[in-house]
Amino acid sequence: MTREYLVMIENQQHAVIVSDEAEALLAAKAAGKASVGLWKRGCGQELSMTKYLVESWDALEPEYLEQVVRRHLKLPWTIAETRRLVIREFQAGDERDMLPEREEEEDHQAFRNKEFLKEYIECQYGFYGYGIWAVTEKGSRKIVGKAGIINLAGKWKSAGNLDALELGYHIFPSYRRKGYGLEACQGILKWYREHLDCSLYAKIDASNKASIKLAEKLGFTVKDQKYNESGQWQLLYEWNC
């Protein structure tokens, strides 16, 4: 069975072909249309021509279909909008707007690399649906930092499971002391509450008083602590909906 759904994005209609038939999905690909395969367990279908699979028609909610179209068109998904900020997925070209810093960590350097960013958008957002996002000013549209949800790094027995997630954020030095970190994280937590499981963590060095203060403002509480690789105390904070 094949169905066509219409999705409106930025005042333009886009078609999404949903089918359990390889021929229909191949035709959609040839026509440059977004597509979703309807997977039936145990039927041995060949659906490799599409990146997205669902097991029932009920899974085709408007937000999901819009995400499929945006991935197809390489348009970023907006995660949250606050009074002064828009938190959105990174897009091609953003690497040019990532401000270099004096003592730059490796993960920040990576986001200034065109090929890394392209792969990150394709794999991280496409597979997980979450990741590190661009924090932009509403008025100027400039990227003022990055923030988002990542898989919890390091072994923390108190986190309870291998699928635990953590909140991370980084505001560029020239945009600090404006409350952007708090505002961005509040927007992300609102999105998290609506889309993912409730438990969320934050790892913070005990010496980082500013991040500790921010975490506590957001409603995080200390769950655990241990020495990190540098021999410094690291705190694990937990947040629940």
Write down which residue in 38, 73, 108 finishes a domain: 73
What is the pLDDT tens value at each position of the chain, 241 positions in all? Answer: 899 999 999 889 999 999 988 899 999 999 999 999 888 877 777 788 888 888 889 989 999 999 999 999 999 999 999 999 999 999 999 988 887 776 556 566 778 888 999 999 988 888 888 999 999 999 899 999 999 999 887 666 666 665 789 999 999 988 999 999 999 999 999 999 998 877 899 999 888 899 999 999 999 999 888 876 767 788 899 998 7
* Residues 85, 60 share a domain: no
Element (H, E) at 24: helix 22-30
CA distances from 126 to 26, 73, 96, 121, 131 (A): 20, 13, 22, 7, 10
- Same domain for 186 and 157? yes
User: Do the Cβ atoms of 223 and 201 come closer than 8 Å?
Assistant: yes
The CATH number given to whatever domain includes residue 145 is 3.40.630.30
In terms of domains, do 65 and 175 share one?
Answer: no
User: Which of 165, 144, 143 lies closest to 154, judged by CA?
Assistant: 165
Which of 43, 73, 103 is the C-terminal boundary of a domain?
Answer: 73
Q: Do β-strands 132-137 and 143-151 pair in parallel, antiparallel, or remain unpaired? A: antiparallel
**Same-domain pairing of 152 and 41:** no
Question: Measuring CA to CA, which residue among 71, 108, 63, 116 is closest to residue 89?
Answer: 71
CA 233/CA 231 separation, integer angstroms: 7
In degrees and rounded to multiples of 5, residue 224 shows phi and psi of: -160, 170
Question: What is the pTM for the complete model shown?
Answer: 0.84
- 132, 67: one domain: no
Q: Do residues 149 and 235 share a domain?
A: yes
Q: Do 22 and 44 reside in the same domain of the chain?
A: yes
- Expressed as residue numbers, the domain containing 94 is 78-239
